[in-house]
Amino acid sequence: MKNLKLIDGTFSPAEARDILLNMIGSKIHFHNKRDFSSKIRIGSSDRSSRVRLDELRETREHIISFLEKAEREGSTVSIKSSIILSCSTEEQAEKL
């Protein structure tokens, strides 16, 4: 298992918006493509992607609201984010 630091810094609200909305946008794009692919291949939506899209859109709205408030208040925004990578077998984990 690997724990990797993805974001660790203090940003202006505009910088934070750029970072976070690009990341969320990338995830939305991924799930839209996955859902579209499922519709083409098997004729129905990918349920997990549809659920995740709803969650991501809600998260996006919360981020926008938070950053608008930070902008109005003249605040900076601290972002700390890490990702945890793990493999499903011991052999795969040893290769990392």
Structural domain range at position 18: 2-89
Is it the case that residue 96 has pLDDT exceeding 60? no
**Chain mean pLDDT for the chain:** 93
**pLDDT confidence of residue 89:** 76
Q: Please, which contacts does 33-40 make with residues 24 or more away whose CB atoms are closer than 8 Å?
A: none
**pLDDT confidence of residue 94:** 59
Quick check: is 96 in a domain?
Answer: no
Quick check: is 94 in a domain?
Answer: no
Q: Please, which contacts does 60-65 make with residues 24 or more away whose CB atoms are closer than 8 Å?
A: 60/21, 60/24, 60/28, 63/17, 63/20, 63/21, 63/24, 64/17, 64/21
Quick check: is 45 in a domain?
Answer: yes
Quick check: is 22 in a domain?
Answer: yes
Average pLDDT over residues 34-54: 94
Quick check: is 14 in a domain?
Answer: yes
Q: What is the dihedral of CA 25, 63, 55, 4, to 10 degrees?
A: 70
**pLDDT confidence of residue 60:** 98
* Inter-residue contact 77 to 11 (CB < 8 Å): yes
Structural domains in the chain (count)? 1
Quick check: is 37 in a domain?
Answer: yes
Quick check: is 95 in a domain?
Answer: no
Average pLDDT over residues 18-39: 96
